[in-house]
Amino acid sequence: MADQIPLHPVPRSAQRRAAYYTSAATAQRHNRYQVEDESSHLDEMPLMMSEEGFENDESDYHTLPRARISQRSRGLEWFICGGWKFLCTSCADWLINLCRRKKELKARTVWLGCPEKCEEKYPKNAIKNQKYNVFTFIPGVLYEQFKFFLNLYFLVVSCSQFVPALKIGYLYTYWAPLGFVLTVTVVREAVDEFRRYKRDKEMNSQLYSKLTVRGKVQVKSSDIQVGDLIIVEKNQRIPSDMVFLRTSEKTGSCFIRTDQLDGETDWKLKVAVSCTQRLPALGDLFSINAYVYAQKPQLDIHSFEGTFTREDSDPAVHESLSIENTLWASTVVASGTVIGVVIYTGKETRSVLNTSNPKNKVGLLDLELNQLTKALFLALVALSVVMVTLQGFVGPWYRNLFRFLLLFSYIIPISLRVNLDMGKAAYGWMIMKDDNIPGTVVRTSTIPEELGRLVYLLTDKTGTLTQNEMIFKRLHLGTVSYGTDTMDEIQSHIINSYSQVALVQWTESVGLTLVNRDLTSMQLKTPGGHILTYYILQIFPFTSESKRMGIIVRDESSGEITFYMKGADVAMSTIVQYNDWLEEECGNMAREGLRTLVVAKKSLTEEQYQDFESRYNQAKLSIHDRNLKVAAVVESLEREMELLCLTGVEDQLQADVRPTLEMLRNAGIKIWMLTGDKLETATCIAKSSHLVSRNQDIHIFRPVTTRGEAHLELNAFRRKHDCALVISGDSLEVCLKYYEHEFVELACQCPAVVCCRCSPTQKAHIVKLLQHHTGKRTCAIGDGGNDVSMIQAADCGIGIEGKEGKQASLAADFSITQFKHIGRLLMVHGRNSYKRSAALGQFVMHRGLIISTMQAVFSSVFYFASVPLYQGFLMVGYATIYTMFPVFSLVLDQDVKPEMALLYPELYKDLTKGRSLSFKTFLIWVLISIYQGGILMYGALLLFESEFVHVVAISFTALILTELLMVALTIRTWHWLMVVAEFLSLGCYVASLAFLNEYFGIGRVSFGAFLDVAFITTVTFLWKVSAITVVSCLPLYILKYLKRKFSPPSYSKLTS
């Protein structure tokens, strides 16, 4: 693929190794690389290391230059080139950590209904989403504003006006624009903060029933303490983390909704502590002497270790507590009334511990404009130095230098941030109002332009490209396979093996119906009408580590005890008895795009079960390493199980996935599919969705575990050309450990990449790798809680509201309802947002440059005097009422109609090159500004030698007309609001000429040099102003016409 890329080993010391999704099957994998092959292949490798180097990482030649670099002395050069920033950041972090020193989280003993017995003081159970308090609000908001170079610069300039020697014009000339920007920001933050405060107050004021010795009392959510006994009704939010003691349901269990905690929409079954559930009355909770021992607060919402102990019984009662006995805060009770004892409050609850502040995303366009702003600042300093030099450094030259810096400060326009922020808000509103993509929500309003700059799209599979709706398709019993058309023969084979909706619905369709199911038993109805009853002895829930779940049942009629287990093929293949068909059939089903599930059973004698139960209960009571001990006991049963069957369910593609992926590929966007599913299924979906085209080769990266294997496989892959890559998470990890740079470089040249068996952290790691190695903009799209880290890591995160809940869509920058909407979001809205912001940003800069050029010409004509050309009001009016509406109307401009952008997605490729806003386009605008500023000022001085007192009125009128004409020149598609904006601004200016004539004189108002109103109505005034305006604008119109005729942009060829 890229024969010129040599493979260099990366030292182990530089790596971050994480183990993902390791399976028992991997350990038994045969080494496919033969020793004799290895030596012959090694000769072909352009590796700068010996063969022994595979084992000896430390001897790599790469370590030598790095050692030298690290030993380089940190001198003055280091300090100037960024060392100062590093030191400041380190000091700030140290101070913040000192102020926010967290209390160490500890395990606790909680006595039922006795908060006063708590040994430590625990946090208040108040929800606090506010960023600031009364004292930190103003300093906090000001810091957020002035950390930007642009705003800090204007603050310094404005403050300088309090120094009499530096004062130029009126204070409001500088403070009015800055004040406006700050006021808008402070008001916006205050409104957001007040909303947060109201939401928090509403949540904290919710009333709950608290059980006391004297009966029930009402208590606010924020006043709940560790040890309180709280009653939560159906459909009520659980206020804090609790252990489930009692329920009104006879089964001793309840269901809770957890979609606000983990993003999953299915209800979770929770079980009350049996000792407290058996008590005759609610008040008996105070008649017993009992406590809960709970582990220290942790992040993991899917695990909990604790014990319940009742001391006043003989013997003392000990019960192990696990995740099924907990009720986490922010979940909702879906059935019955529950009573729980509070174990964690406030900041120590699972929901708050898992709430992280996502990084503030800054768009590429904002970073580019920040660079241009710095370039403008350098130009400003250079121009001021030139002026002082031409003055000959007379008098207090440093004071004159500062005055020139102030005079030319309009080179850097303060209105740039205001216009861009308002533009972003407008783009967000347009996206949400687009009827073609209903339900789309813009959650991050600061990066709509990113949608037009994307090069890599990283997508989840299940629920994103597919519908996450499973349809039962295939059943294989070892000797015979059944499809959907031959289901009537197989009623006799299905026993209670499934809980999945697809499988339960299917068993019902072939005559076996689930009649009843509670915590202790289940009843099935056979096609003949007989009721089969099974008692549930144990349930082993599914975990991502084990990839399987099990159940032990006793048949009521025969008394037989059977252990059933179902799970992924990689997890089950080592558990079942030897067979010669499982692996082959799993591969066949996966190639058809089916998700496979292996079902097995094992018959147990009464003695075997009793022995298992005692060991299992003992392991569940242990405080240390409970999960490991429990897993070890369960694994003792998982041996030599009888293979029952293999099932296959189909996950159908979402609507219009194929044309959408085709459009994105034509737009030059490289698509990577990151999924936790198995390799065969992922490959099949990649083909059926046309992520990989029919005639394209697929290189399936062989499983590798060592550096040597990775090296050989990378060399084999390098010789392939224009083929899609399919790689598993384990192999990817090995490649990234030794050959990170080489692997990413090779993978980036592939038309499509599929990574299967990926963990959530691995998905985020791949996003960061692409950002780091390519420097291109990345977009991640997903629908489940496992996609959140990937979405937050990407430059632009898109969430789909799907079957797995809203967690991904709430964490994303943009939320859509269907995958196909991404096409219009990128091709139309991404294009428009980027093009409009680029034009708006450059025009606002042009507006500042042209007036600064006029000031420079004015000063140079008058012996380099640091005197302002225009008075305060005119300067404020120039950036606001006279030109603001036409300039801002550029956010309505579009170069290509939406239909055309969707029909020719190839147009998107131009956007990723960033040509709409670059140093080249910026330089063109600078030259235009210098030309126009020079013409306007010299023209005014040449034509009005006799009436010099009117030079301000003449030049300023020509300037306003030029700006309005330049807006018209820039616009590509007219909108009626643009026309209104042009005439409104012109009207405002004409009115101010008539009624605010004292501002159009030379110098201060007190000098009495007012504008003669009669003069501006004369023909002389009108033709001379017109002449200057025509000279400043006509050449540009001619150049634009010639450029469009002889070198038209790609989109104009289509529109014509």
Whole-angstrom distance, CA of residue 463 vs CA of residue 783:
6
Of 184, 144, 407, 186, give the one whose Cα is nearest residue 880. Answer: 184
Task: Report phi then psi at 278, rounded to 5.
Answer: -75, -15
Beta 521-525 vs 697-700: how paired, if at all? unpaired
The encoded tokens of residue 251 equal 């089964």
Placement of tokens 């604008």 in the chain = 1033
Of 374, 364, 531, 527, give the one whose Cα is nearest residue 449. Answer: 364
Task: Tell me which amino acid residue 531 is.
Answer: I
DSSP bridge partners of 341: 229, 243
Task: Report phi then psi at 1038, rounded to 5.
Answer: -65, -45
DSSP bridge partners of 293: 109, 307
The encoded tokens of residue 143 equal 């810091």
DSSP bridge partners of 525: 513, 531
CA 921: distance to chain centroid? 31
Can the peptide bond before residue 9 be classed as cis, meaning omega within 30 degrees of 0? no
Placement of tokens 């033709």 in the chain = 1023
Handedness of CA 214, 215, 220, 221 (dihedral sign): positive
Whole-angstrom distance, CA of residue 510 vs CA of residue 491:
6
Of 302, 340, 343, 297, give the one whose Cα is nearest residue 322. Answer: 302
Of 46, 9, 63, give the one whose Cα is nearest residue 736. Answer: 9
What are the b/e assignments for 997-1034, b being 16+ CB within 10 Å? Answer: bebbbbeeeeeeeebeeebbeeeebeebbeebbbbbbe
Residue 732: count of CB within 10 angstroms of its CB: 26
The encoded tokens of residue 17 equal 């190794």
Residue 315: count of CB within 10 angstroms of its CB: 6
Which element (helix H / strand E) includes 183? Answer: helix 171-204
Task: Tell me which amino acid residue 748 is.
Answer: C
Whole-angstrom distance, CA of residue 924 vs CA of residue 516:
77
H helices present in 544-699, as ranges: 569-572, 582-591, 606-621, 626-635, 657-666, 679-688
Whole-angstrom distance, CA of residue 869 vs CA of residue 937:
10
Handedness of CA 884, 885, 887, 889 (dihedral sign): positive
DSSP 3-state assignment of 390? helix
First-to-final CA distance of the chain = 40
CA 529: distance to chain centroid? 53
- Which residues are marked as active site? 460
DSSP bridge partners of 600: 565, 643
